[in-house]
Amino acid sequence: MSSELRRIEAMLPGLSPGDKAQLLEWLAQDLGGATPGIEKTAGVCGGAARIVRTRIPVWVPEQARRLGASEADLLRCYPTLRAEDLANAWSYVRRRRTEIERDIADNEA
């Protein structure tokens, strides 16, 4: 491990959860726009972006939200989801709006 990584590791306990989330966001952007908690796997959910640990494509809760579902509704309907999962999904939607629009349109076709 490099000395830079050791310094960062030593600073982590002193960071607030918000600061840690911001750091994670910066790292994801630096890694090419990856969104924490979201993954794509060929052959799973048709290769669509999905919430990790699930087979729930990101477009599903986004479309539900557009149709009036609250986060509480989504967490009730999908008991494996956590609030963090939804936050990751909303972040992905903000960055990849065109992709999500296409996924929703493809599903409705």
Domain boundaries, the chain: 1-34, 35-109
Give me the pLDDT at residue 64, please: 97
Angle at 80 between CA 74 and CA 85, to 5 degrees: 65
Least confident span in 23-27, 56-60, 71-75, 97-101: 23-27
Closest CA to 105 of 48, 59, 65: 59
- pTM for this prediction: 0.70
pLDDT at 105 over 70: yes
Architecture of the domain made up of 35-109: Orthogonal Bundle (1.10)
Give me the pLDDT at residue 33, please: 62
pLDDT at 52 over 90: yes
Place of tokens 């992709």: 99
pLDDT at 15 over 90: no
